[in-house]
Amino acid sequence: MATKKSTTKFWRQGEPFVWGTALALTLVLCMTLLLFYVVLANGITVFWPKNVTLATLNNGGYALGEVVKDEENPGTGKKRFQFKIGNRDLYGLDFKWIDAEEITNFSTPPDIYVLERQENGNFYGSLKELKTPGLVLPVEKNESLQAALDSIEPQRLEVEKIDRQIAALNDKVEQNNNKLLKLRYKKEEHTAAAVALHEKVSTIKAEFEQLVVVLGSKQAIVAANEAVFVDANGQEKTIRLADIVRFYQPNSMSWVQKWSYYGKRLKELLFAEPRESNTEGGLFPAIFGTIMLIFMMSILSFPLGVLAGIYLREYAREGYLVKMVRIAVNNLAGIPSIVYGIFGLGFFVYGIGSQIDLLFFPEKLPTPTFGTGGILWASMTLGLLTVPVVIVATEEALGAIPPGIREGSQALAATKFQTLTRILLPMASPGILTGFILAMARAAGEVAPLMITGVVKLAPALPLDGSFPYLHLDRKFMHLGFHIYDIGFQSPNVEAAKPMVYVTTLLLILIVLIMTSTAIYLRNRMRERFSVADL
Amino acid sequence: MSHSATAIMSIEKPQVEVEHLNLFYGNSQALTDMSFGIPASQVTALIGPSGCGKSTFLRCINRMNDLVEGLRIEGLISIDGENINDPSLDVIELRRKVGMVFQKWNPFPKSIYENVIYGLRIAGIKDRNVLDQAVEQSLKRAALWDEVKDRLQQSAMGLSGGQMQRLCIARAVAVNPEIILMDEPCSALDPRSTSRIEELIRELRGEYTIIIVTHNMQQAARISDYTAYMYLGELIEYGPTQKLFTVPERKETEDYITGRFG
């Protein structure tokens, strides 16, 4: 009897339900944490200089590289190691599986060099000699490589400077050519203005030729400096010093040196351009593109969504039409993003973009200016995708304001508009911002619609730079989300790109996290200010 | 109508005049043929059971009902001889003249200072001295000054219910209206705060015409000069409070005030 009573009580109080709710939340939490853990654990260790292991093989050979993974060979059931052996130019592959039974000995020789190169990935080996005509260097080997690199640094910087000058000249030629195109289009190619432009272009070209000659000679000087390295099996490889991005000797590095190396790599990641089809180097253009895209999307979708939400809640007369609109808006939020992408391509790029080209850039046709994907169209597409979220949030935030507040304001002789701007909008702002945060988070994670409206694997220039008119809305851009897809699944060397995939993912998550937490902080401050919880 | 004319006292030179007022929500009639005059600078109480149309009538006076969809008014309400439903009349001007305090206090989520001067800001007054003075005067008049003078810039949300309601009165007083409408201003307050508000209403009497809707008959008896008893959208009896509460002319009024009904 007693047990029956207690079981009914158990069911009546809904104990299983409470457990169910807790379980559901735990599950969600675990999944999120797992995802974040995987990304964090893999992403954060990428730049840490790992020891380089020299494995002595029982066939008399050697293998040198970082041990990436050990596992049981699914074929034989025996243990095997995955080595990152680098030296792609020598072996063709950077990674190699070696069975444990083939290895007789592991060691970590202190004088092993790891070179990060402009091309062909890492090199693992030891230094044999330096061929540095014209450089006076200290005798000791290790220092001498650093010294050699240091002493060609000024020339290298000069080469870069000339490169930039050439790029600037190219820019000028491009601009003048555009002007010429315009004149030709207007059939004014024989006027004085056109002749002057032609002259200008030819002087620039002369300057250009000169610079190219200077560049060639400087490059030759830099390129003459080489170092000879040997791999684990004694194979020699001559590497030009100019091709070495940096080198390190992980087996003899102290903690401080390792941390400073880590810092350098982090700096490179955040501020440098990518190298080697995006699998090495920095992510700056992609970070810049992502943030700029989100900003532009916000500028476009936020006012539109808020205004539409205000109309729907405050001015539209309740009825079937408004109900239909509301349903339509809610459904818009559920349309697959690729559909938005296709719409963006069809309507913005091919529709509006090509009209803009016809009107403003007819001289460049058939080369499109706005009639092809670009950051403007991509942000408009994303804006369209996020606008329903903002509308719904605005409507709900306005609807949640107690009616007494509106009446109070209007009873004090305020018009509807004054009530809206002075009371309702400030009060609704936390809710509107919440919607905005959701919209931003969604936009930051979208890749599919961008792929057809302007994202590229490698953009030659940023959409915002120092050359007139500074903001280039027609330019294509890079994006972290697309970057992940590109290097993770489109790269010819997937294994080598893997660390970068984790790093990029981590970075994207961090950017979204920073942007949304800033917005959440702002919202909470507003909430404190405009709360009417005690009414 | 069947009511004898004697039950509705006529006022000489009324400030608010109501003539044959009928009000409809869609197809249902909420107010039926109300006619009476409300004197200036006096407190007039509207009593009656829930749903009898007291608040609806009150909201006609400053045209708060404009916001309600499907609402239709017939008849005439005039203030100082001016028809307030005249299309040429600016409702903003009307509301500047007729302030309102609601049943549920509704201060804005702004500072106490900003709450008080909201109406003045809306009217376009920017002079800091004028505003400062208005804040002090209005808060003093609403008997709130001593309690909040040191925290004018703090949020009004930190006040107690009674203080918030007095703030709403101060807010209404700040724009210097002629008439103040009060829609059950004490119904959500504890007895202590209620008596403070009642005291305040007695003090404001003479300066403003106050029309107050109340559920509480003792309150009507305590604070008002005139009382109107409404039932099911009709005005049953109207006269000086003392007379209505001691020798009501109509049976329905007597039943209500003695508690036999209502």
CB contact under 8 Å between A531 and B123, yes or no, is no
Question: Which residue from B minimizes the CA distance to A535?
Answer: B106
CB B230 within 8 A of CB B8: no
- Chain mean pLDDT for chain B: 88
Nearest-Cα distance to chain A for B249, in Å, is 36
- Whether residue A219 lies inside any domain: the answer is no
Mean of pLDDT values over B250-261: 83
- Whether residue A419 lies inside any domain: the answer is yes
Task: Give the model's pLDDT for residue A394.
Answer: 93
User: Which residue in the set B69, B119, B157 is minimally distant from A532, CB to CB?
Assistant: B157
CB contact under 8 Å between B92 and A413, yes or no, is yes
User: Which residue in the set A411, A427, A529 is minimally distant from B100, CB to CB?
Assistant: A411
Chain A residues whose CB is inside 8 A of the B102 CB are: 404, 407-408, 411
Chain A residues whose CB is inside 8 A of the B118 CB are: 409, 412, 414, 422
Which is higher by pLDDT, B240 or A118?
A: B240
Question: Which residue from B minimizes the CA distance to A532?
Answer: B109
HSE at residue B184, side-chain half, CA atoms within 13 A, is 17
Q: Which domain holds residue B133?
A: 5-257
CATH of residue A370's domain is 1.10.3720.10
**Taking 70 as the threshold, does the pLDDT of residue A210 lie above it?**
yes
Nearest to A495 by CA among A211, A117, A100, A94: A94
CB A331 within 8 A of CB A317: no
**Taking 70 as the threshold, does the pLDDT of residue B86 lie above it?**
yes
- Of A179-188, A261-270, A280-289, B116-125, where does mean pLDDT reach its minimum? A179-188
Strand A95-99, strand B234-240: pairing: unpaired
Task: Give the model's pLDDT for residue B1.
Answer: 43
**Taking 70 as the threshold, does the pLDDT of residue A204 lie above it?**
yes
CB contact under 8 Å between B64 and A407, yes or no, is yes
Chain B residues whose CB is inside 8 A of the A413 CB are: 92-93, 95-96, 119, 122-123, 175
**Taking 70 as the threshold, does the pLDDT of residue A138 lie above it?**
no
CB contact under 8 Å between B118 and A427, yes or no, is no
Nearest to A185 by CA among A356, A370, A365: A365
Mean of pLDDT values over B63-92: 87
CB contact under 8 Å between B122 and A414, yes or no, is yes
CB atoms within 10 A of CB B81: 9
- The answer to whether the peptide bond before residue A469 is cis (omega within 30 degrees of 0) is yes
Nearest to A243 by CA among A211, A280, A213: A280
Mean of pLDDT values over B245-251: 89
Q: Is A367 exposed, middle or buried, given 0-12, 13-18 or 19+ CB atoms closer than 10 A? A: exposed
Mean of pLDDT values over A435-450: 87
Rg (CA), chain A: 31
- Whether residue A233 lies inside any domain: the answer is no
Burial A267-279 (b: 16+ CB within 10 A, else e): ebbeebebbbebb
- Of A59-68, A168-177, A396-405, B108-117, where does mean pLDDT reach its minimum? A168-177
Give the pLDDT confidence of A298-349 residue by residue, as tens digits.
999 999 999 999 999 988 888 899 999 999 998 888 889 999 999 999 999 8
Both tokens assigned to A502: 């984790």
Q: Is A219 exposed, middle or buried, given 0-12, 13-18 or 19+ CB atoms closer than 10 A? A: middle
pLDDT interval class at B2 (50, 70, 90):
very low
Q: How many angstroms separate the Cα of B244 from the Cα of each of A251, A319, B225, B248?
A: 103, 46, 10, 5
Rg (CA), chain B: 18
User: Which residue in the set B96, B108, B157 is minimally distant from A423, CB to CB?
Assistant: B108
Q: Is A332 exposed, middle or buried, given 0-12, 13-18 or 19+ CB atoms closer than 10 A? A: middle
Mean of pLDDT values over B33-57: 90
Mean of pLDDT values over A156-171: 85
What is the number of H-type helices and E-type strands within chain A?
17, 12
Task: Give the model's pLDDT for residue B6.
Answer: 61
Task: Give the model's pLDDT for residue A150.
Answer: 81
Sign of CA pseudo-dihedral B117, B118, B124, B128: positive
What's the pTM value of the predicted model, to 2 decimals?
Answer: 0.81
SS (H, E, C) chain B: CCCCHHHECCCCCCCEEEEEEEEEECCEEEEEEEEEEECCCCEEEEECCCCCCHHHHHHHHCCHHHHCCCEEEEEEEEECCEECCCCCCCHHHHHHHEEEECCCCCCCCCEHHHHHCHHHHHCCCCCHHHHHHHHHHHHHHCCCHHHHHHHCCCEHHHCCHHHHHHHHHHHHHHCCCCEEEEECCCCCCCHHHHHHHHHHHHHHECCEEEEEECCCHHHHHHHCCEEEEEECCEEEEEEEHHHHHHCCCCHHHHHHHCCCCC
User: Which residue in the set B92, B106, B121 is minimally distant from A408, CB to CB?
Assistant: B106
Query: What are A103's strand-pairing partners?
Result: A57
How many whole angstroms separate alpha carbon A457 and alpha carbon A462? 13
Strand B28-38, strand A103-107: pairing: unpaired
Chain B residues whose CB is inside 8 A of the A409 CB are: 108, 118
CB B220 within 8 A of CB B262: no
**Taking 80 as the threshold, does the pLDDT of residue A161 lie above it?**
yes
CB contact under 8 Å between B95 and A418, yes or no, is no
- Whether residue B231 lies inside any domain: the answer is yes
pLDDT interval class at A73 (50, 70, 90):
confident
CB contact under 8 Å between B64 and A411, yes or no, is yes
CB contact under 8 Å between B92 and A415, yes or no, is yes
Nearest-Cα distance to chain A for B165, in Å, is 11
Mean of pLDDT values over B131-155: 89
How many whole angstroms separate alpha carbon B232 and alpha carbon B53? 7
- Whether residue B166 lies inside any domain: the answer is yes
Burial A501-523 (b: 16+ CB within 10 A, else e): bbbbbbbbbebbeebbeebeeeb
User: Which residue in the set A413, A531, A534 is minimally distant from B96, CB to CB?
Assistant: A413
Give the pLDDT confidence of A21-49 residue by residue, as tens digits.
999 999 999 999 999 999 999 888 888 88
Domain count along chain A: 1
pLDDT interval class at A139 (50, 70, 90):
low
CATH of residue B55's domain is 3.40.50.300
Chain B residues whose CB is inside 8 A of the A412 CB are: 95, 99, 118-119, 122, 171-172, 175
CB contact under 8 Å between A414 and B118, yes or no, is yes
CB contact under 8 Å between A413 and B171, yes or no, is no
Specify the 3-state DSSP secondary structure of A399. helix
Nearest-Cα distance to chain B for A261, in Å, is 52
CB contact under 8 Å between A535 and B105, yes or no, is yes
Nearest to A114 by CA among A261, A253, A246, A223: A246
Q: Which domain holds residue A341?
A: 284-530
Chain B residues whose CB is inside 8 A of the A408 CB are: 102, 106-108, 168, 171
User: Which residue in the set B93, B102, B175 is minimally distant from A407, CB to CB?
Assistant: B102
Tokens 């890492």, residue located: A122
Chain B residues whose CB is inside 8 A of the A421 CB are: none
- Whether residue B262 lies inside any domain: the answer is no
Count of pairs with CB atoms under 8 A, one residue in A, one in B:
74
Give the pLDDT confidence of A450-476 residue by residue, as tens digits.
999 988 888 777 888 777 777 888 888
Task: Give the model's pLDDT for residue B212.
Answer: 94
**Taking 50 as the threshold, does the pLDDT of residue B54 lie above it?**
yes
**Taking 70 as the threshold, does the pLDDT of residue A292 lie above it?**
yes
- Judged by a CB distance cut-off of 8 A, whether residue A319 touches chain B is no
Q: How many angstroms separate the Cα of A237 from the Cα of each of A25, A232, A244, A275?
A: 57, 11, 13, 22
Mean of pLDDT values over A398-410: 90
Nearest to B143 by CA among B115, B165, B122, B117: B165
Mean of pLDDT values over A131-138: 68
Task: Check residue A93 and report its DSSP letter.
Answer: -
Tokens 């103040």, residue located: B180
- Chain mean pLDDT for chain A: 85
Question: Which residue from B minimizes the CA distance to A418?
Answer: B122
How many whole angstroms separate alpha carbon A369 and alpha carbon A376? 12
Mean of pLDDT values over A235-259: 87
Domain count along chain B: 1
Chain B residues whose CB is inside 8 A of the A405 CB are: 106, 108
Nearest to A227 by CA among A98, A131, A115, A308: A131
Mean of pLDDT values over B181-204: 88
Helices (H), A311-374: 320-332, 337-343, 354-360
pLDDT interval class at A135 (50, 70, 90):
low
Mean of pLDDT values over A420-427: 91
The distance from CA A405 to its chain's CA centroid, rounded to whole angstroms, is 45
**Taking 70 as the threshold, does the pLDDT of residue A483 lie above it?**
yes
Task: Give the model's pLDDT for residue A496.
Answer: 81
Nearest-Cα distance to chain B for A405, in Å, is 6
Task: Give the model's pLDDT for residue A143.
Answer: 61
Task: Give the model's pLDDT for residue A2.
Answer: 53
Give the pLDDT confidence of B98-109 residue by residue, as tens digits.
999 998 888 999
pLDDT interval class at A141 (50, 70, 90):
low
**Taking 80 as the threshold, does the pLDDT of residue A276 lie above it?**
no
